[in-house]
Amino acid sequence: MTTYRGNAIAVGILFIACSAASILSAVPLGSMLGGPDYLAQLAGNGGRVVVTALIEFIWAATGAGIAIGLYPVLRKHNRSLALGSVVGRTVENTFVLVGTLSLLALLTLGQKSVGADPAAASSYQAVGQALLAVRDWANGFLNYLAFCVGVSMYYYVLYRSRLVPRWLSGWGLVGAGLCLGAFVWSGFTQEFGFATVNTALNIPIGVQEMVLGVWLIAKGFSRSALASDVGSQG
């Protein structure tokens, strides 16, 4: 019987790395994008922008890698949902990279705006506002929806198959539901990022993924669940 121990360790590490990267991505820039002189701030802190972009790339790569690493295990219980989770998390992290690309474009725009005449500066500001909007909607709204869909699929399969304890996969399902609430809140209020409500609604899934990561590294998947035929093939 294949125990998928390597998959469990790899996915556990990816869970921890993804959660850490998603949080740390906000650190280098701080509140830089929220000020009226954000273009000048970005131009003067290019290193921080590049560091942020690298962290967000790690966030995107590890997020997609989680579902890919789980797929060989979950497909034995429900192939359709296992594949759907890969698609969902890949779409999610494509939106993360769209936000990253917008940030890098803002850096270039900020560098070009330095010393520009008033007419050109006004144009740069207009383009900058559009790029900021793309980043906010991609990173703070659309990726939430794809994330909720992707994680709900693999947590459902984990719950039904008992590959991990049901309290742990059930916690993931509840966390995904709360994250969906954050998605709805962001859409109607346009409060993105670490707004108080968003943070509160996303804490449960964030903590759960760290706990699940440690569990998979330490314990792996249930051998009895791997040996059984619980669940249906999709």
Residue 205 lies in a domain: no
For 102, the token pair is 């917008």
Q: Tell how far CA 167 is from the center of its chain.
A: 23
Domain range for 222:
5-169+210-227
pLDDT for 158-182, tens place per residue?
999 999 999 999 999 999 999 999 8
What is the torsion angle, in degrees rounded to the nearest 10, for the CA atoms of residue 221, residue 223, residue 226 and residue 230? Answer: -100
pLDDT for 132-153, tens place per residue?
999 999 988 899 899 999 999 9
Residue 177 lies in a domain: no
The residue behind tokens 């719950």 is: 159
For 211, the token pair is 């706990």
Task: Indicate the average pLDDT of the chain.
Answer: 91
For 200, the token pair is 């509160």
For the chain, percent of residues with pLDDT exceeding 90: 72
pLDDT for 23-68, tens place per residue?
999 899 988 988 888 999 999 999 999 999 999 999 999 999 999 9
- Number of domains observed in the structure of the chain: 1
The predicted model scores a pTM of 0.89
